[in-house]
Structure 1
Amino acid sequence: MARSKTVARTQKTVIEMPLTTKVATGTPYQLDPTQVERAAKALVSHMKKHVEEKDEKAAVKNLADDEDEAEDSDQPIFLSVSTKKHVSDSNRLKPTKIPLPHAIIPNDVRVCIFTKDPQRAYKDLVASDAFPATLREKVVRVLGVEKLKKRYKSFEQKRALLAEFDVFMVDDRVIKIVAEFLGKTFYQSKAKRPVPIRLTAGAYVDKTAKKDNKVSQNVVGTPQGVAKEIETALNSTYLSMSASANTSIRVGTLAMTAQQLTENTSAVVAAIIPKHIAQGWRNVRSLHLKGPATKALPIWLAEELWTDDAQVLDQPYKNKHLVEGKTTERKRKWEEWEEEMLDDEELAAKIAQQEVKKAKKEKNSEKKSISREKRKALKDAALSGVQTPLIAG
């Protein structure tokens, strides 16, 4: 109860200012950084307070405390986007990489990369002197498709692979093959879904050959080009627009400051709304910040619930294409066809049953219905029978 009161007070503090900001020129809507920072500060404060209360309730401390604290500080913070209309364009539903000003992936991650065969070429690329040493420490494993299929056939082996590494990346040329093989073990959740990268980055590719699908499948990028791809992937968040009116995208962690969360949120909003939401800001209903198990704090709300003023009608809606009596006509034809299939005795029994139902219905109707004159007469008779006044003077 105390926690819900805290959240309620937090929400009340956050929504003191108007959440819809319009400008005179340019886009009719914009995000207010002050409101975002206020919501981020309140959300982080609430989540940290909940973590402290959880630690106080733990009576016995064990050796896993440090690990638990690290997990608490890595709790994700999401931006929730609600639209007025469903996002139905299939081109907008592809996962998109969005660079962030402040990385949400920690530095001490263990990275596994799924590559096109032969894997030796990419292992040598990572091991070369031209590849950054700091990045080489993070790339722990390079697995080709053939070896992946041989070593990780069973469900248990795939689960063990999933638990062994923090981040998975995949060569964009074999992403479909890898996704089909790994299945729901990796793709049921978005937490460790393999991130597509270009392992041909830095290599020269003839554009005409690329259009004709004649690009050599064994093209290997340069150490500098591939390293830049991996660094960009580690410093980005990934958007998978669902075919609905709601979607969430990770914009930070609990360890970040309110200012860092504000900058990340602004960068994500600037990338999503113009490119991935049809009609842009006009189709956005609300933007919220939330944690994994917290209420959503509003940072932007639309004034109207429609995308076009033509959708607002002055009179009740009338469907011109609605044909009155169509259902009744269909039912009548169906009953006629049924009667044709019956013999004389069955038809007579059905007609008699219908007559009984009709008579019973009329009788009940007579009992229920009383005319206005009769009702007035009954009321006057009841009042005249009362000898004493109903209300004492």
Structure 2
Amino acid sequence: MKKSLSARLAILSDAAKYDASCASSGSNKRDSSASGGLGSTTGNGICHAYTPDGRCISLLKILLTNFCIYDCAYCINRSSSNVERARFTPDEVVWLTLEFYRRNCIEGLFLSSGIIRSSDHTMEQLVQVARDLRLKHGFRGYIHLKTIPDASPALLEEAGLYADRLSINVELPTETGLKQYAPEKEAAGIRRAMGEMRLKIEAGKDRTHTGRPTRRFSPGGQSTQMIVGADGASDQQILSSSSGLYGSYGLRRVYYSAFSPIPDASALLPVKSPPLQREHRLYQADWLFRFYGFDFSEITAGRADGMLDLELDPKLAWALDNRAQFPVDLNLAPREMLLRVPGLGLKAVTAIVSARRHGVIRLEDLARLNVSIRKVRPFVKTVGWSPASLTDRHDLRTLFVPSPQQMSLF
């Protein structure tokens, strides 16, 4: 007996929760206020994802189907998994998207799918959803499509014409792990598709000889996701893989998803999931690479096992491992070194560099920038303040790591 639409929606929206690479590009190229049509990428709504500038947008996040011909050991939707299956038609996804939008529940769509029949057949249906929303219904909201790397290049190109962002999952951080847990997938094929996508995205930014923009292609770029803790990859290996992905394919984001044990799992998989704090530390390390000038190799250099310190954020852990570089003079240090001071963020450093052109920066001035004086004080010096040499301090870690008896405010 065919399941009702609401029952299938419950199954396929729950199945989509394992996909972490769901975020907005912040694109406003299709804003209905300028061009007419349904939807907008600039309004407010239910917080399902964040744009780069901090705005919340709401997305309908579902799978087209959780049937799949592949048998990846770490995936709950693998072909051998004993889970309840469901499937939407492209027309049903289009209808759901429009009806949720009209009820002011969403501002966009995140659509992924298991592989049914073949990669091309599945990709054709994903593209049909985006094409019908854009061309038949004038939908101007945000669309993120999860693409299939071994699908036809023509289908991937068409997907980029209608979607704001595309993503291809690398699945696991190492090629060895992928061969062991998903032998039907090829790391080389995934990276080849990502490379072709990057070329199309960059070509879409070019202009013709008349100065007019060329045909747009995925203006929000591409992203990917890797599973953390399913294989034996260390944080150093994970970050090294991310570094290569950012450098080679111009990704907007790499998402890290902590492995979650699944029913009837392979004996190869871990019984317990990794601590969520590990996923959090990886995101912090990723941020340091993207915005603070750190190299991934130096973030884990102080740990023999290649793992990030779960008790300290990576920036603070690096500072404690490199104490000879501190304290940093707030009035003389270059911007690049100020960014490495624990407790100083991008906005605070920009404000310090700007303000010190007009006067002396004192320790108490940092409070006006919402900087934690307690966290910064051991690592900076200025007029009226010079801490003891960090090389002589052996208690610094205890200042930042709460004791087991101390209740955390968070």
TM-score range relative to shorter protein = under 0.3
TM-score by length of 2: 0.23
- Work out which of the two has the higher radius of gyration on C-alpha atoms and give 1 or 2: 1
Higher relative contact order (CA 8 A, sep 6+): 1
Normalized per residue, the structure richer in helix is 1
TM-score by length of 1: 0.24
